[in-house]
A and B are shown apart, each in its own frame.
Chain A
Amino acid sequence: MSALLELQSVSQRYGDKTVVNDMSFALQQGEIACLLGSSGCGKTTVLRCIAGFEPLAGGEIHLAGRRLASVADSVPAHLRQIGMVFQDYALFPHLNVQENVGFGLGKLSRSEREARVMAVLEVVGLQAYAQAFPHELSGGQQQRVALARALAPKPQLLLLDEPFSNLDVDLRERLSREVRDILKSQGTTAILVTHDQHEAFAMADKVGVMHQGQLQQWAPPYELYHEPASRYVADFIGQGAFVPGRVTGPRCVTLELGEYCSAVPRQFAEGDQVDVLLRPDDVVHDDASLVTAKVLGKVFRGSEFLYTLQLDSGQQVLAQVPSHHNHAIGEAIGIRLELDHLIAFRRA
């Protein structure tokens, strides 16, 4: 099966500054992808290149087998059949909800248009607000109007530029689930841009982590978390601490906390000095363990505690512990490693 969207070595420059560098990825029909990165990493620019708002400095973009853009020529933005939800929603203040949503349906007849508008409003749950003006709606409602407006013309691809950044956390979580359900129910292929990994994990089938205009890794969220391709990704995604270790066999590393051997062989030579990423869930509290660590800090998270622990060497690690193990700061507790995935990088 060939991909719906394909970016091949896409680059983009503002003046001398390279904003996007040699970016390639593919997206299958019906998939939801997310470009994740801190602000200024170039993720929004990629979105704008796909939408057709920015010219390419290198590479090509293909959609459904058609070349959308290359350095030499490009399909005008309005002919790409790509919908977009803007960060500030960009609702038309002079039109009511119905008119906003029906805006891109100029080619339909009046009755078809009305039917489509009402259908989309139903999808986003705003039938009752068809006659309201944008300023009369809440932030979440405005967001859903923006989504409905972008969905109404049935775009081949939907782009969402930080769609939830203007909303509060609760609403953000709820809406991101809702939006994912809506997109999935419509079979919409979508790319979302965000700096919030929870949002990315909640929404996306594939996540692309970007850093300084480069795509660091393009993978499903699980893989990203457990098998980060670079030290940057490992650091950026999730929590954890790097602990020094020494390679003691083709599959084994010795840490302060003992030797660990993974199921899969790694590309290290024996004797190499490495840094091993320990996620909080890799460090398990075990009163029976001989290894102890001192509690430096703790954060209560309801079902569990996140402890910051200090090993004898002074090295700090994080541990996720069920919340009935309530230890005081300064107390020494027994721990042991329970690693499923060995994440190690050669020390520079």
Chain B
Amino acid sequence: MSRLHTLVIPWLLACLIALCTIVPLGVVMLSALTPDPAIWSHLIEFTLPELFKNTAIMLLGVGAGVLLLGVSLAWLVAVYDFPGRRIFNWALMLPLAMPAYVLAFAQVGLLEFTGPVQTWLRPHFEDMRWFPQIRSAWGLVLVMTLAFYPYVYLLSRNAFATMGRRALEVGQSLGLSRSQGFWRIALPMARPWIAGGLILVIMESLADFGTVAVFNYDTFTSAIYKAWFALFSLDTAKQIASLLVILVFIVLVLEQRSRGRRAYAQAGRAAPQPRLLLAGWRGWAATLAAGSVVLVAFVIPMLQLAYWASLDFANQFSSDFLGYAWRSVSLSLIAAMLVTAIALVLAYLVRRQGSQAMRNLARVATMGYAIPGTVLAVGVFVPVAWLDNQIIALMGWGGDVTAVFKGTLLAMLLAFVARFLAVAYSSVDTAMNRITRSHDEAARNLGCSGWALLRRVYLPLLSGGLFTGVLMVFVDVMKEMPITLMTRPFGWDTLSVRVYNMTAEGMWDQAALPAIAIVLVGLIPTILLSRQRDVA
């Protein structure tokens, strides 16, 4: 009985969770066994070199961008006081509510040749060639940085808030100036949180399709889509996706390796520290810096969207629209709770079991985040349809019955679990890392173990991390497009489906209203998230 409890059940559960990702991953990666030589020789000669170059530029650019923006803003807000700090504390999170593809289109719409900025400038200059071409690598890096920096900002801000000021003081007592203290103490100590945010950003960038499509910038995902839709070779698409998965795996392993033996759980307690006042021009400079980021990443694009939406508001704002919104919200909520609950179980199993094998299993289970939604959708749909066909054949139904699981919410939710488990897992896991071993031991010493330990000790201590997980998945599902498109049941059109239908035809004016709605609904959890003190 106790063996069953301590060994069989945890492994069984963990494997079940991992299967949500392993099966679709397997469906995708098994295709690697049957490459089409004609297509691959073409890809290797004409596509892959540029693909790798583009992907590298994107990752380096976006990675550097989000680190610069996310960490510096987090440091500013967590340790210093300056005019408007309390507002920026949450306002800097706002871009999280805006899907990258929406930000991309709004920014491109603003800054390209036909946009208002250049149109306004043109009469004043003879030659406009000095104006940078927004639809380029740097434009993509800029937009992705603005869209994704909140991940790094959020995670590192909370790390800095608990230990930032103290790190400075320790440094000063050892003869380090504040800036030295930042570089040599605060930054290295916040590394796991910063790295966690960075990995989310890398995965988002790798899996992104909508944004690179607006920029017509070729990365792995565009190659996947092209192989599938243009060369009609889903197998080739899956093979390219496999490459992508391997790339992500390497990133994850490297990060883990570099941590080595170090432990980052805070020893002792750290009381909230009073902030350092930035007086005079320094304070206003900080306000200006934070303010311009919020302006460029959120306010201005929202105004652009609002302008587009106003062009045809009466037609767009119909009962259909309210239906999209309602389905978006309810779907995101259900998915967020489910995904976070599963992440909790997984994180708990990893901690309790503590073995390397379990850790690796968890790593595999959270890899779906890097797989483009469409490919993952196929990876989920194919086995579900196969299962349906088997069941129908077995039961001898035939005729009227065409589906058991597919086209149900269940299949869709499975796909979301595979795709977003990493998001919830990272916040639950980081929160769990904060619970010291003595908490465990204290509880077990008091006769509290197993699921009771989870319920009575972990859940209350983790509530912050869990809440964060729910919020982050909620926002992600709101923004999600390909899985929703592919696996939704009849009539389950959401806001993002609507955006897709409109953008596919280049009707950006009409995509603006649902896009705004996605942002507005996403704002609620985003603001809640920014108020969370104990975020991951």
Contact = CB atoms under 8 A, between A and B. Distances in A.
Interface of A: 14, 51-53, 76-79, 81-84, 86-95, 103-104, 106-107, 133-135, 142, 149-150, 153, 159, 166
Contact of A77 (B166, B167, B169, B189): B169
B263 A106 contact: no
Contacts of B166: 86, 90
A315 B166 CA distance: 50
A92 B188 contact: yes
B262 A133 contact: yes
A81 B175 contact: yes
7 closest A-B pairs by CB: A88-B268, A104-B174, A77-B172, A84-B173, A135-B263, A78-B172, A94-B262
Contact of B267 (A14, A95, A104, A135): A135
A83 B174 contact: yes
Contacts of A52: 172
Contact of B262 (A14, A51, A77, A93): A93
Given A77-B169, A77-B172, A86-B170, A93 B267 contact: yes
Nearest to B191: A94
A133 B173 contact: no
Contact of B177 (A78, A82, A93): A78
9 contacts: A51-B172, A77-B169, A78-B172, A88-B269, A89-B268, A93-B264, A104-B176, A142-B267, A149-B174
A268 to B, nearest CB: 46
Contacts of B261: 133
Interface residues of B, number: 30
Nearest to B264: A93
Interface centre among B176, B180, B267, B270 (most CB of A within 10 A): B267
Interface in B172-188: 172-178, 180-181, 184-185, 188
A150 B262 contact: no
B44 interface: no
Contact of A76 (B172, B184, B185): B172
Given A94-B189, A94-B191, A104-B176, A133 B169 contact: no
Contacts of B465: none
Contact of B176 (A78, A87, A94, A159): A78
Contacts of A142: 267
Given A83-B174, A93-B264, A104-B173, 19 more contacts: A52-B172, A53-B169, A77-B172, A78-B174, A78-B178, A79-B175, A83-B173, A87-B268, A88-B267, A88-B270, A90-B166, A90-B169, A90-B268, A92-B189, A94-B191, A95-B262, A133-B263, A134-B263, A153-B175
B171 interface: yes
A103 to B, nearest CB: 6
Given A86-B170, A153-B175, A94 B267 contact: no
B118 interface: no
A73 to B, nearest CB: 14
B133 interface: no
Nearest to B169: A53
Given A89-B268, A94-B191, A78 B263 contact: no
Interface of B: 166-167, 169-178, 180-181, 184-185, 188-189, 191, 261-270, 274
Nearest to A53: B169
A89 B173 CA distance: 12
A296 to B, nearest CB: 37
Nearest to A52: B172
Nearest to B167: A90
B191 to A, nearest CB: 7
A159 B169 CA distance: 12
A77 B263 contact: no
B490 to A, nearest CB: 53
A279 to B, nearest CB: 37
Contacts of A93: 189, 262-267
A166 B268 contact: yes
A90 B262 contact: no
Contacts of A89: 267-268
B35 to A, nearest CB: 43
Contacts of A76: 172, 177
Contacts of A78: 171-178, 180-181
Contact of B173 (A77, A87, A107, A135): A77
A295 to B, nearest CB: 40
Interface centre among B169, B176, B178, B270 (most CB of A within 10 A): B169
Nearest to B261: A133
Contacts of B185: 92
Contacts of A149: 174
A161 to B, nearest CB: 10
A253 to B, nearest CB: 47
Given A133-B261, A133-B262, A82 B267 contact: no
Contact of A51 (B173, B177, B181, B188): B173
Contacts of A95: 188, 262
A289 B181 CA distance: 68
Interface centre among A81, A133, A135 (most CB of B within 10 A): A135
Contacts of B267: 88-89, 91, 93, 134-135, 142
B188 A94 contact: yes
A13 B267 CA distance: 30
B419 to A, nearest CB: 32
Contacts of A133: 261-263
Nearest to B274: A14
Given A78-B176, A104-B175, A90 B170 contact: yes
A51 B169 contact: yes
Nearest to B269: A88
B366 to A, nearest CB: 23
